[in-house]
Amino acid sequence: MTSAPPVPAGPPYAGRSLATVLTSAAAALGAPGFANALQLPRTRRVLVVMVDGLGKAVLKRHAGHAPYLRSVLDRDAVTLQSAFPTTTAASLSSLGTGLEPGRHGLVGYDVLDPERGVVVNQLGGWDPATDPGRWQPHPTVFERLEGTGVDAVTVSLPAFADSALTRASLRGSRFEGATTLHARFQRAREELHRATGPVLVYLYLNELDKAGHQQGTGSEKWLHALEEIDGAARRLAQAVPPDTVVVLTGDHGMVDVPESRRIDYATMPALVDGVEHTAGEPRLVQLYFAADAGDAARHGTLSAWRAAFGDHAWVLTREQALEAGWFGATDERVRPRIGDLLVAAHGPLALYDGRRVPGSAFEMVGHHGSPTRAEREVPLLVLHRPLR
């Protein structure tokens, strides 16, 4: 067995991370009670463009298809850390609340609800018995802006207007829906021009992530999405009011996993011995032991995972992951949502519980969830600064 790379430290949630993007934007607009950790210039209008799936590594690798974004990457950009796990539910919740996952509680694509003993999908398939406002009770950045004189607007797909994730972590803004990528860019530009006072506009784009999952980064569909975003971003930056800050970032990166390395771990009995629930995502498996699983059984399952996949994954207990700072400061109500064991891939590997997912899940090419650099590092590109 080859030695695994060192376990990466958790993100600097109070520094250069997704958790400080909207809070820095609010501070730049003069709203009280917010820290400008990213040192955005003081202004009256801020647009935050979120490109789902835009990691720094994939942008650099395919920069020839994004000449405008490449030029900004070279002259006015910093590297941010995604939240952990490097997945949309966790990262957008850190963006929306300004908190680490250990506090907002969305600690994976799907996780255990310990009160009811069921696994909850936190992205697109919330259990109707799960109240988003109770699951994530902290005020969002948008809610904190109420009464400050700063208008908050979200421009996204119409289907997300009342989604559970929106109600949990991005509630409190005026929602403007638009179906196509170009219509969303246009709506965001209109909101900036329409504003008569300080305004924070949040624009969400899902096309790149969707193409990457389906066909992989660098595929024709993925490159087409990147080219569309690049052109639309360039045109937007040329058309915003002079007193506008425009920043563009991603919620996580993405890695492609070959079909031969997409593995159904449920076919290996030793890996699920004593395990009552499985959750997470293929690059970050979370395992929850049955209450009657003794120490010997738990240790045996941990050892089995390390023997089977230790060359290609970090296998940690919950306590080890918390000590590493992966989830940041963690509330007691959130701790039992995190798996007893976490399996974070660092090699070309995607792990599925074939008892829980359909066969079509194994067709997914692009993946994320683990704290590798390719998955956790995202760019913060400053597309426009106020003209002085």
Q: What is the pLDDT of residues 296-317, one digit of tens each?
A: 999 999 999 999 999 999 999 9
Residue 192 has pLDDT above 80, yes or no: yes
Report how far residue 303's alpha carbon sits from residue 311's, in angstroms, rounded to the nearest whole number: 13
Distance CA 244, CA 221 (A): 32
* Angle at CA of residue 167, ends 166 and 172, nearest 5°: 90
The beta strand positions in 60-198, using DSSP E, are 77-81, 110-113, 118-121, 151-156, 174-177
323-369 confidence digits (pLDDT tens): 999 999 999 999 999 999 999 999 999 999 999 999 999 999 999 99
Question: Kind and range of the H or E element at 376?
Answer: helix 373-376
pLDDT, tens digit (0-9, with 9 covering 90-100), for 133-182: 999 999 999 999 999 999 999 999 999 999 999 999 999 999 999 999 99
- pLDDT (tens digit, 9 = 90+) per residue, 236-264? 999 999 999 999 999 999 999 999 999 99
Residue in 324, 368, 327, 315 with CA at minimum distance from that of residue 4 = 315
pLDDT band for position 2 (50/70/90)? low
Helix axes 220-237, 67-75, angle to 10 degrees: 60
Q: Which of these CATH numbers, 3.30.70.3420, 3.40.720.10, 1.10.287.70, 3.40.50.300, describes 18-253+371-384?
A: 3.40.720.10
Q: What is Dmax (Cα atoms) for the chain?
A: 66
Q: What is the pLDDT of residues 40-86, one digit of tens each?
A: 999 999 999 999 999 999 999 999 999 999 999 999 999 999 999 99
Alpha carbons 60 and 307: distance in angstroms, whole number: 35
In the chain, domain spans: 18-253+371-384, 259-367
**115: burial class by Cβ within 10 Å (0-12, 13-18, 19+)?**
exposed
For residues 97-112, give the mean pLDDT.
98
Question: Architecture of domain 259-367 in CATH?
Answer: 2-Layer Sandwich (3.30)
64 CB-contact burial (10 Å; exposed 0-12 / middle 13-18 / buried 19+): exposed
**What is residue 55's predicted lDDT score, i.e. its pLDDT?**
99
Preceding omega of 132 cis (within 30 degrees of 0):
no
Q: In this model, does residue 1 exceed pLDDT 70?
A: no
pTM, full prediction: 0.97
C-alpha closest to that of 171 among 134, 205, 198: 134
Q: In whole numbers, what is the pLDDT of the chain averaged over residues?
A: 97
